[in-house]
Amino acid sequence: MSWQSYVDDQLIATKVVKDAVICGHDGNIWATSPGFGATAAELKTLIGNFGNTDVLAMNGVTLGNTRYMFLSGTDKVIRAKKGTSGIHVMKTVQAVIVCRYEEPIVPEQCAIVTEKLGDYLISVGY
């Protein structure tokens, strides 16, 4: 399965995820949904701050020229929001999955879809 089909079929097709990107740990984009303007530089900054909650809390998370307020995070997951939309990010062995949701979707719905794909990728070594 191509990386683009993971974005299209496993994330966007659920209707829970509005926009998504899958990239490597270096920030290079492997697949993205149309209209999600996240840049490789923004992704690289985000990935570099996994586990660094002080920096994330102070600076927030910027993707697609939109700054989201950092809510919580671990060395594997980052959650952030802006108004009634937000992002859920999961780091796997070799990839990072970034999903954006909008109202009426709630954060938990997006988290389930994002982490289900993330757990699958981890199970197959990605």
Euclidean distance between CA atoms 126 and 69, whole angstroms: 28
Annotate 31-51 with DSSP letters as a single string: EE-TT----HHHHHHHHHTTT
pLDDT exceeds cutoff 90 at 1? no
Q: How far is CA 48 from CA 24, 44, 51, 71, 101, in A?
A: 12, 6, 9, 17, 23
Q: pLDDT tens digit string along 34-47?
A: 989 999 999 999 99
> pLDDT tens-digit profile of 25-36?
999 999 999 989
Query: How confident is the model over 3-21, as a mean pLDDT?
Result: 97
